[in-house]
Amino acid sequence: MTMLRTANMDELPAHGLLTRLAASPPDLSAQGTLTPERISSMTVDNASFRLIYGCERVTPEVIDALQALAGQAKAVEKFVAMKSGEVINRIEGFESENRQVLHTACRDLFGDPPCHREASQAAADELEKLAAFLNALENKEICGPDGAPFTTLVNIGIGGSDLGPRAVYHALAPFRVPGRTVRFVANVDPDDAAGVFADLDLKHTLVNVVSKSGTTLETLTNEALARGLFTAAGLVPERHFIAVTGKGSPMDNPDRYLASFHMFDYVGGRYSVSSMVGGVSLSFGLGTDNFRAFLKGANRIDRAAENPSLRENIPLMMAMLGIWNRNYLGHSTLAVIPYSELLSLFPAHLQQCDMESNGKSVNVRGERLSYETGPVLWGQAGTNGQHAFFQLLHQGTTVAPVEFIGFRQNSLDLDRRIEATTSREKLLANLLAQSLALAAGKRDDNPNKDFPGNRPSLILVADRLDPETMGELLAIYENKIAFQGFVWNINSFDQEGVQLGKKLANTILAALSGREKPGPLSGAMMEAAGI
Amino acid sequence: MTMLRTANMDELPAHGLLTRLAASPPDLSAQGTLTPERISSMTVDNASFRLIYGCERVTPEVIDALQALAGQAKAVEKFVAMKSGEVINRIEGFESENRQVLHTACRDLFGDPPCHREASQAAADELEKLAAFLNALENKEICGPDGAPFTTLVNIGIGGSDLGPRAVYHALAPFRVPGRTVRFVANVDPDDAAGVFADLDLKHTLVNVVSKSGTTLETLTNEALARGLFTAAGLVPERHFIAVTGKGSPMDNPDRYLASFHMFDYVGGRYSVSSMVGGVSLSFGLGTDNFRAFLKGANRIDRAAENPSLRENIPLMMAMLGIWNRNYLGHSTLAVIPYSELLSLFPAHLQQCDMESNGKSVNVRGERLSYETGPVLWGQAGTNGQHAFFQLLHQGTTVAPVEFIGFRQNSLDLDRRIEATTSREKLLANLLAQSLALAAGKRDDNPNKDFPGNRPSLILVADRLDPETMGELLAIYENKIAFQGFVWNINSFDQEGVQLGKKLANTILAALSGREKPGPLSGAMMEAAGI
């Protein structure tokens, strides 16, 4: 297989054109820019989702230029190569992880010939192992010491082994298996585990320890804390603890666990929700069928994302609009605001997925880039955000592009018509109104009530948040992030930037344990902090 | 009382000096910049907190210049004027809220002569009314229809009536009154209320409806939903619902509520945690003594913040360091990262408090500013963030200053020595290590493993998170935000930027209810979104 080499983004022919276009981008607040025709024509449909991008600061000419840029960067070809197993997690000429990137294979299980047969087969095998384990729970072949079923699963993991499964479990609350609960412990702060374990019935609790490397400090520490609690309660941890880890990791030790499931080195932590990392807790909490529907939704988008035309490819269009905002209009942050309480944890997952992937400064050959890469991604659920930070979005000195997400129907069945509209209608009306208000603005003689407008946003909308659309939404963002990395010519799949802090923490820990004298700076910090 | 008028920040004498100093700020990664002496000398102590700012990109000369800027902007004089009741929530020459800003009076109750006697008296009166009500709950003079006590309080509010009380209640989990729980409903998304009310024992549930204006769409809608649930369960809402609202608001109607508590127009929503807005739910959930300790902590900082020397005033120092990073070094975001799971909701509260206060573009006279104001504030708890977005903090193309928060002791009693250190020590070691790593960096021949360093951060540290230190921490940030507004010469206490979205939402709602034809743009948006 040959690597698809491309030049840096600023060396591609379309870059010059985009730079020229960015010198006079459309003013959305100007009379005649924002028209009904514009809004209805600037949409893309994939699977259950519609993307509405008429409130971005683009013209058809800008979209054409972004299409050219995506083509010249071979964004879709690289995506297809990724799905086919090319070793793209690497830095040419330097020591690097040197791995394939095959999270998409975990969901490439639905009829069509898989892009990477072995990886999809391995995923199918783990799913089968998991189904057998869940079956044994169901039949009470595996159960608490008193013969009663396990009702709670505590997921111990951090980062990629926590944020995605936690966000999806929260989002799909209406689909939970009755009588079962999943809880999450991530932080090495012992107050986290203490809070979660305080009110648990340990006898009927499974603990799922998740770490690809099997060496994550926080996770091993919390596992040890948790094992201590089980032992103190007269229970045998090996009958309650299960593991998700990489083959051959220090945690890959069946003697210590009731069951073990594998993830593979070609699935990055932040892309691992569709692997066993999400699979175990989500299948326990939501049921096997719902987890499969989730995978199926993701797979639908993975296929749609192969379309080279951004006008027909939501992830690619969002990627290129993001690059337009970031590199050509100069906006350094991105707000993701789901108008859905159930998606309230989703921005934190995306924050990881995006910022850990694309917060990079060198290209795939290790050369320092002269343009910006990943933005600071932040956000909260709407309408809550309207009563929090929207003041700055509308009238602050910094423009922050927004991605809104909404659903036409409720997930839970509580709604009433109050003053002639339902709560759902109120929610959606606010979503649309915010996007329009940011774009159109409104002049006022009172400068404090003046809205400059011309602030970009887009809207993603589907009928209903359910396992399948949740899978679609996740894959839209995963693929968007990958496309952006391809165009920026970076490796979106490693995370060397987290190493230095870990190393320094270890030297401070060595000092705290009395094993070593701290370095002069660490010592001064410890003294200043009084520890 | 006379208004303290000052020029815009860029017209103050120190501005030129700061601009010159910013042309060659210290490089924290350069040999000899970051020294043990620097770290130990760059600290400020107030009440229970220590601020460590040696890892900011400042020199003593920069601090002197920031001190001069704060002095020329009369930051402390304006703060004292605020506490004394000056009408500073106004835009000179234009229609505006024209109000005093007296949230500090709500906690100015501890011995010293209060800065504003009437406001503190009014706060004391409400606290007394609340104590009587809580007493009646305790004695079961007020109780469920079966004579059993109320065990749950559902707080219905949004923005300032939600984020602060929610974050503080979460932070003080170890101090909860046994047998009592507080839940929060904010979003107009009916899935929010549905999720909270699903498993409640309504008979023993109080609902606290919180809206200063008494007209907040989300809150009134959720109140109506909730009343419907009580009625459907054969219960009388008037025996379960209490209210916190402004005197004379449409909600100020004792016939509809079991009890009513007042907030005043001189307490802004985002600054209202210390008023009845926080008082009712926090006193119910944590007890009166804990709420008073919380107020006492806040008051200690309010007093410390009167010190004109920023080297002795944590909120002022943090305000000026933030202005240095924002205006002189050009960083557009601020990450707040508490190394404390219990503070995991605090960044969302600060996001509101800061961005709604200082996301402004005109000065106190309505003139457009030519410099940046409030940054985008974001963040999550550490160490979790290390496994999420720290990649970008260390190696991204955008530098994001960080404020770390930590505690020397646990709040809950679950910790163990694992590999010679406790979880708490691991948490603190990571906090210190991250700050050092961001500042010092580390060169590496492998460009992908190279850390440029020179990225600014500060640390706030105290012994333990408890009601008093929580009050201190809240006041540190509230006062920091106010100081920044004073220097930027803006009105930090209104929020006109949220009005346009509300208005547009109402026109869309009128269309959805069939009352009016939608405008052409709203109509196109509704059609594109399929609603």
Going residue by residue through chain B (531 aa), what tens digit of pLDDT does each one get? 456 889 999 999 999 999 999 999 999 999 999 999 999 999 999 999 999 999 999 999 999 999 999 999 999 999 999 999 999 999 999 999 999 999 999 999 998 899 999 999 999 999 999 999 999 999 999 999 999 999 999 999 999 999 999 999 999 999 999 999 999 999 999 999 999 999 899 999 999 999 999 999 999 999 999 999 999 999 999 999 999 999 889 999 999 999 999 999 999 999 999 999 999 999 999 999 999 999 999 999 999 999 999 999 999 999 999 999 999 999 999 999 999 999 999 999 999 999 999 999 999 999 999 999 999 999 999 999 999 999 999 999 999 999 999 999 998 878 888 888 999 999 999 999 999 999 999 999 999 999 999 999 999 999 999 999 999 999 999 999 999 999 999 999 999 999 999 999 999 999 999 889 999 999 999 999 999
| Token pair 């023993």: residue | B204
Does B364 reach chain A within 8 Å, measured CB to CB? no
Closest listed residue to residue A403, CA positions, set A484, A483, A457: A457
Task: With cut-offs at 50, 70 and 90, classify the pLDDT of residue A1.
Answer: very low
A&B contacts, CB < 8 Å: 537
Nearest to B159 among A348, A387, A393 (CB): A387
Using the Cβ of A504 and the Cβ atoms of chain B, whether some distance falls under 8 Å is answered with: yes
Any A CB within 8 A of B164 CB: no
| Cβ under 8 Å to B: A residues 218-277 | 218, 220-222, 224-225, 228-229, 269
Residue A3: pLDDT above 90? no
Residue of B156, B188, B323 to mutate when probing chain A, most A C-beta within 10 A: B188
Least CB–CB distance from B388: residue in A40, A351, A442: A351
The Cα-based distances of A209 to A154, A244, B126, B340, B414 in angstroms read 8, 6, 49, 21, 19
What pTM does this model have? 0.97
Taking CB atoms and an 8 Å limit, are A398 and B332 in contact across chains?
yes
Question: Chain B residues with CB inside 8 Å of A380's CB?
Answer: 348, 351
> For residue A391, which residues of chain B lie inside 8 Å, CB to CB?
355-356, 359-360, 495, 497-498
B348 and chain A: CB distance < 8 Å anywhere? yes
Distance of residue A57 Cα from the nearest chain B Cα, in angstroms: 16
Other beta carbons less than 10 A from residue B373's beta carbon: 28
Tell me the CA distances in angstroms from A25 to A282, A326, B384, one per residue in order. 44, 14, 39
**Cα separation, B6 vs B364, whole angstroms:** 10
pLDDT at B414: 83
**Is B356 a residue of the active site?**
yes
Which domains can be identified in chain B, with CATH numbers? Answer: 9-72+308-409+417-486 (3.40.50.10490), 103-295 (3.40.50.10490), 497-529 (no CATH)
Q: Is B332 on the interface with A (CB under 8 A)?
A: yes
- Tokens 């601009």 correspond to B19
Give the B window 290-329 contacts with A, CB below 8 Å: none
Q: By C-alpha distance, which of B192, B199, B207 is closest to B154?
A: B207
- Cα–Cα distances in Å, from B29 out to A476, B260, B333, B402? 39, 57, 21, 16
Best mutation target among B39, B185, B189 (most A Cβ atoms within 10 Å) is B189
Does residue B467 sit in helix, strand or coil? helix
Residues 384-403 of A with CB under 8 A from B: 384, 386-398, 400
Interface test with B, best of A44, A191, A434 (most B CBs within 10 A): A191
Nearest to B359 among A396, A436, A506 (CB): A396
Active-site residue flag, B442: no
Q: Residues of A with CB below 8 A from B173's CB? A: 195
Q: How many angstroms away from the CA of A142 is the closest CA of chain B?
A: 29
Asked if A528 lies within 8 A of B43 by C-beta distance, the reply is yes
Name the burial class of residue A371, with classes exposed (0-12), middle (13-18) and buried (19+) by CB atoms within 10 angstroms of its CB: middle
Chain B interface includes A451 (CB < 8 A) = yes
- Given CB atoms, is A99 within the 8 Å cutoff of chain B? no
Is B1 in the A-facing interface, judged by CB distances under 8 Å? no
Residue A418, SS3 per DSSP: strand
Distance CA A433, CA B511 (A): 12
Q: Which of B56, B218, B223, B356 is catalytic?
A: B356
- Inter-chain touch B36–A524, beta carbons under 8 Å: yes
Q: Which residues of A are catalytic?
A: 356, 387, 502
Using a 10 angstrom Cβ sphere, with 0-12 exposed, 13-18 middle and 19 or more buried, the burial of residue A66 is: buried
Query: Taking the CB of residue B210, how many other CB atoms lie within 10 A of it?
Result: 32
Q: CA-based diameter of chain B, in Å? A: 74
Question: B516 and chain A: CB distance < 8 Å anywhere?
Answer: no
The rounded distance, in Å, linking the Cα atoms of B523 and A37 is 11
Within 8 A of B331 by CB-CB distance, chain A residues are none
> Which residues 67-96 of B are in CB contact (within 8 Å) with A?
91, 94-96
Inter-chain touch B398–A524, beta carbons under 8 Å: no
Task: Determine, for residues B513 and A378 on separate chains, whether the beta-carbon distance falls below 8 Å.
Answer: no
pLDDT digits (tens, 9 = 90+) for A244-287: 999 889 999 999 999 999 999 999 999 999 999 999 999 999 99
In whole angstroms, give the CA distance from residue A175 to residue A185: 22
Nearest CA in chain B to A529: B461
CA distances from B485 to B74, B227, B275, B475 (A): 11, 41, 22, 15
Nearest CA in chain B to A211: B387
A365 touches chain B (CB under 8 A): no
Minimum Cα–Cα distance from A271: chain B residue: B388
Looking at residue B3, what is its pLDDT?
A: 67
Q: Which residues of A touch B429 (CB under 8 A)?
A: 505-506, 508-509, 512
Write down the ipTM of this complex: 0.97
Distance CA A506, CA B88 (A): 50
Q: Give the closest-approach CA distance of A207 to chain B in angstroms.
A: 17
- The helix/strand/coil state of B206 is strand
Side-chain half-sphere exposure of B279, counting CA atoms within 13 A: 29
Give chain B's end-to-end CA distance (angstroms, integer): 54
- Model pLDDT, residue B361: 98
| A509: chain B residues, CB-CB within 8 Å | 420-421, 425-426, 429
Give B-chain residues touching A225 at CB under 8 angstroms: 414-416, 418, 423
Task: Answer yes or no: are the C-beta atoms of A320 and A487 closer than 8 Å.
Answer: yes
